[in-house]
Amino acid sequence: MKIFLDANILVAVLNKEYPLFSLAARILSLVDDKRFSVYTSPLCLAIAFYFAEKKSGTAAAMKKISSLASRILVAPAGSVEVKLALSSKQIIDFEDGLEYYSALNVGCHVVITEETGDFYFSETEVLNCQQFFEKYSSKGLIKD
C-alpha cells in the first residue's frame, strides 16, 4: 500500500509534538514494513525543515531531515504537478494541490494528514492518523 504523509505528520514527528507524536511516529515507522511504501513531497520536507529549524536550530533540523529523507520515498513535485495544481478549479490552496498531485503521481492510495478538510477535493482517500489506524487495524494490515 502506498501512503503519502502531509507536512503536519512530519512536523509532529520531528518536533515531538504531543499528543500527535505517538501516532505519527507509528505511521512513519511503516517505512520498515515491506507492505507499505511511504511517500512525502519535497515541499513537505521543506515545511518540516522550517518548523524543525525553528524549534531545534539549523544543524539539528538538517540532521533530522537528512535522516528522514534517507528512509522515506520522495514523490516528485515538478512542472506537471504545478500545472495541475494551478489549473484545477477545485483547489484553492496551492500547497495542498502540489502535495495532492505529487501523491497521485506515484499512485498513493491514502493521504495522511491531520487537516483532512484541506483535501476536500481529493478523489484519493484522506485520513488523519487515528482514522488510518482504526481503519487498517480492523483490516489486519497493521497492528494496534
Q: pLDDT band at residue 93, thresholds of 50, 70 and 90? A: very high
Show Cβ contacts of residue 2 under 8 Å, excluding neighbours closer than 6 positions: 36, 37, 39, 106, 107, 108, 109, 110
Q: pLDDT band at residue 137, thresholds of 50, 70 and 90? A: confident
**Does residue 112 surpass a pLDDT of 80?**
yes
Residue 141's pLDDT is 67
Q: For residues 102 and 122, is the Cβ–Cβ distance under 8 A?
A: no
Range of the domain at 120: 2-138
**Does residue 143 surpass a pLDDT of 80?**
no
Q: Is residue 33 part of a domain?
A: yes
Residue ranges with strand state E in 28-127: 37-40, 73-74, 110-112, 125-127
Find the CATH number of the domain harbouring 85. Answer: 3.40.50.1010
What percentage of the chain carries pLDDT values higher than 70? 95
Q: Is residue 74 part of a domain?
A: yes
The position carrying cell 504537478 is: 81
**Does residue 73 surpass a pLDDT of 80?**
yes
Strand partners, 125: 110
- Mean pLDDT, residues 30-55 taken together: 96
**Does residue 81 surpass a pLDDT of 60?**
yes
Calpha distance 89→75 (Å, rounded): 23
Residue 75's pLDDT is 97
Q: Is residue 144 part of a domain?
A: no
CA atoms within 13 A on the CB side of 3: 26
Q: Is residue 115 part of a domain?
A: yes
Q: pLDDT band at residue 90, thresholds of 50, 70 and 90? A: very high
Strand partners, 111: 4, 126
Q: Is residue 92 part of a domain?
A: yes
Spell out a b/e string for 6-35, using b for 16 or more CB atoms within 10 Å of the CB, else e.
bbbbbbbbbbeeeebeebbebbbebbeeee
Q: Is residue 143 part of a domain?
A: no
pTM of the model: 0.93
Domain count, the chain: 1
- DSSP conformation class of 98: H
Q: pLDDT band at residue 138, thresholds of 50, 70 and 90? A: low
